[in-house]
Structure 1
């Protein structure tokens, strides 16, 4: 039931009062599950209890406990505090049950340890208006609360939170003017890894019709690796790795243990292999139950053949991290050789293949290229190929327009698609990517390309370019990809040299190499 002005909507748990803003009605901070504290700590999300009267839905809910840095910034979050982390926000053109508009549900990124749906960079007003559809954003547990593998608790609690939020959408979105049969889930970076996980999770089946995965990270942990890392996090806190012990510590204080371990993960390379250089101790865990297998394995077996997929990456993904770490132009042959030996497929053969494929590349360029390929570009490409192999449909893109900020050296780096998609050029990461440049007209052209394609896909399953077929040699037809720039172009997959080197590579769950071995210095 809605009021005449559409500002009050009755959900299954109770009535909420939103606000009219810029031609939309916006509802913020609606709980979709009980606060995961006390007896509910480290458990699966519990259904929210009903409330009496009408709840004001004016402010975003508090962020889940997390480290101090968020969305490329550091310091204290400008956000509410409290335990009611599990909330959703809704932007709708018309809170009328008869409207039945398509619904887009956003899942934020942040290395599975940061993020908040109330971040200004995720303001969905422009997207909702551009597509005349309903946009939902959600909070989920990150870091230790959401992804640490702790004895006696379910794995992947952050993913289970996302499933609970999608169930809330299924059960309530009609009252906000949305169509529960036309739901598209979309996310970037760790949010894209979450989308890929949802495609593979039995508990998420039937909750969405379409999926958009922007810059899919290839890092998924084996159960053994995740438990070993969790034990080290507990050791940092001076505790045994049990739910009872960890629950005794305030969740906002416990984040310091994960942050401390992340800062020295590189010393664990002999023990944790490729996971160690990522400096984040969290990823989805292939536990065999919540997440039965990796997304690539699941999709190739047909698990998501009934879900339409749009996926893609940015050309220069890893350059952002080099810039933030002060490493641009500072990397030499030793670092390049080590990176190639660690991440290129085939070990020494892979190193030789990269050097042959990019003979004029500097050591820094080789270092960046193999990190970009291993962490984002090839996992994304392989997700599209697995979907096609499993009998499903996928559309592929690559963003090539360079970020104008930071002296123009960032290229088409990681995260650039967020301000372009949402039109939030001066918020969060956009502050860095557009710093000192203003907002050039080309950025608004790209925003129109993104919003037109994304909302068309949410409405029809067609973003405006041909589906990816996984065939061809890159010299002619096949493997068609939308290259997103000021002048978009459909062409065979652009990074053919990398594609060939990674052809046949299996993105398996990262293993534990040697439990309990002492870290190196």
Structure 2
């Protein structure tokens, strides 16, 4: 990133500098924004700190250049080219934050802190999709950061503190609280927002005593339902360790190279069908890792915690897309190719019991197998967990706002519908390159540009004042913002699915009883 602009016409503008708790930073101007990249919030979790909770970063002398993203954490290679870039230096300097600010000398700007998704297996703050430029120009300080993934962040090993990826997030939020004012932000107006695994992380943070007071509002975009109990998480960890010929303990695995640990987890991911009898829906959904309801770091599953009143003082906006899992079906080349037998198996695995299976058949008697498969998976994996999180927060005394994105992605020949991840480039305003090119095509339409502005404005307004521009969700009316070509507020659109799942409890998954 290069300096742009000038200082009153007298020459190149001086690079922006700020003082943080770690020391002075020199960023770069990006048009009218000051941007600071690759700032350490914790020490590299390698060597003696491997598989340990995050340790605060060491301070530095002089002025540190903050003009390049930090290294990405190890990325699953089993998911193909969608993983983020990985550095080959092996320094383990993964735990870094990035800041976009419209006015580092200002005070009191709302702060938006992004938590990326990626099945808890992939993700990085590097890259064009999570560029904070457009959101910052709407009047907010935007922060992105890296956290540990896969076995590094969520492997449940004996002797290792669980949920290290979530603890990284807590450490990053502490850094934000301590340093937001240096960038013009208000440490008392911090909003976390995230999608998919990032939204699942936010649901966990809402339930974690260690995260209390670190943020004041939250936006959870497509909350995934899977959270794991200790027995299931330990069983998965044992399978990963067995691939290395090691015990599933901190003592045995701390000396293992992070790349080797990632490869062992990938071997389990590639063979998940073999584990279905024991791991049930966790294996069937191809999710070897998720936050663990361990009773210490994460005392309860988020839905139970929010019903109990956890984070009732945090205003919550939560929503989902209409056709969540259609993206996965399209990328697998299965649009129109799901068989009736496969759709029936999806109902058996993921619908809420025999009554739920029958209700889906009655409500959608003419649905083709692909449509039925995608509907059930979307409900189990994202739509109903998101709705139930809003419902639980309201029941616990909190304020919730809900939305559904129904605008259809024009990419891939128009087969995607309103698919998973479509909200991300729309919120960020990153409508070209990266994932946006797949979802939106090479050039965004006027509708995409207008909807992106609508969503970006709503997210920043919520961060600023706790009001995105529509009525809160309540049990009777269930008012929801429908994000379409003509955004409007209406009763929750997925009433049929809501009724099917109304009595279901989203709880931590455990091994299948009686499995070998």
Segment drifting more, 185-194 vs 251-260 = 251-260
CA distance in 2, matches of 1:410, 1:78: 32
Partner of 2:465: 460
Aligned equivalents of 1:484, 1:80: Cα separation in 2: 43
In structure 2, what is the equivalent of residue 330 of structure 1?
Answer: 337
2:30 pairs, out of 3, 12, 21, with: 21
Q: Indicate the residue corresponding to 2:440 in structure 1.
A: 434
* Structure 1 counterpart of 2:422: 416
Question: Which deviates further from its counterpart, 118-127 or 67-76?
Answer: 67-76
- CA distance in 1 between counterparts of 2:434 and 2:392 reads 33
Matched-pair contact (CA < 8 Å) for 2:71–2:86: no
* Alignment check: 8 A CA contact 2:159 2:251 kept: no
What do the CA deviations read for 1:333-382 (whole angstroms, capped 9, x no partner)?
11111110111112x22211100011111111111110000000000000
Shift of 1:77: 4.4
Q: CA deviation at 1:9?
A: 1.0
CA distance in 2, matches of 1:516, 1:226: 16
Shifted more, 293-302 versus 60-69: the winner is 60-69
Q: Which residue of 2 aligns with 1:168?
A: 175
**Helix, strand or coil at the partner of 1:459:** helix
TM-score (norm. length: structure 2): 0.95
List aligned pairs for 1:42-61, cutoff 5 A. 42-61=51-70
Contact kept? 1:209, 1:308, Cα under 8 Å: yes
C-alpha separation in 2, matches of 1:73 and 1:65 = 13
- Distance in 2 of aligned mates of 1:126 and 1:162: 23
In the alignment, which residue of structure 2 is the partner of 1:230?
237
Return 5+ residue gaps in structure 2 as ranges.
1-12
Preserved contact between residue 16 and residue 57 of structure 1 (Cα < 8 Å): yes
Paired residue secondary structure (2:410): coil
Correspondence for 2:18 among 5, 9, 12: 9
Aligned partner of 2:484 in structure 1 is: 485
Q: Is the 8 A contact 2:39 2:66 kept in 1?
A: yes
Of 182, 190, 195 in structure 1, the residue corresponding to residue 202 of structure 2 is: 195
Query: CA separation of 1:79/1:110 partners in 2, compared to 1, >3 Å: closer, same or farther?
Result: farther
2:393 maps to: 387
Cα distance, 1:323–1:195 mapped onto 2, change above 3 Å: same
What whole-Å deviation, never above 9, does each CA across 1:44-75 have from its counterpart, x for those lacking one? 10111111111100000000112137796258
Distance 1:360 1:462, change over 3 A: same
Could you say if the C-alpha distance between residues 168 and 242 of structure 1 is closer, same or farther in structure 2, counting changes exceeding 3 Å?
same
- Superposed, 1:231-310 pairs within 5 Å as 231-310=238-317
Mapped pair 1:181 → 2:188: yes
Separation in structure 1 between the aligned mates of residue 248 and residue 143 of structure 2, nearest angstrom = 35
- Report the 3-state secondary structure (helix = DSSP H, G, I; strand = E; otherwise coil) of the residue aligned with 2:450: helix
Structure 1 residues 427, 72: closer, same or farther in 2, change over 3 A?
farther
Work out whether 1:89 is the aligned partner of 2:95: no
| Cα distance change on mapping 1:273 and 1:257 into 2, 3 Å | same
Q: CA deviation at 1:80?
A: 7.6
- Deviation track 1:195-249 (CA, whole Å, cap 9, x = no partner) reads 1100000000000110000000000000110000010011122322122222222
One of 357, 360, 370 as aligned partner of 1:364: 370
Q: Is the 8 A contact 2:113 2:191 kept in 1?
A: yes
Q: Does the 8 Å contact 1:63/1:79 carry over to 2?
A: no
Structure 1 residue ranges without an equivalent (≥5): 472-477
Shift of residue 331 of structure 1? 0.8
* TM-score, normalised via structure 1 length: 0.94
Per-residue deviation, 1:513: 1.8
Q: How many Å separate the matches in 1 of 2:109 and 2:252?
A: 47
Distance across 2 between alignment mates of 1:109 and 1:247:
25
What is the CA distance between 1:439 and its match in structure 2?
1.3
Q: 1-side partners of 2:88 and 2:128: how far apart?
A: 11
**What's the offset of the Cα at 1:408?**
0.2
CA distance in 2, matches of 1:69, 1:126: 33
* Equivalent residue in structure 2 for 1:399, among 401, 405, 425: 405
Q: Count the aligned residue pairs.
A: 504
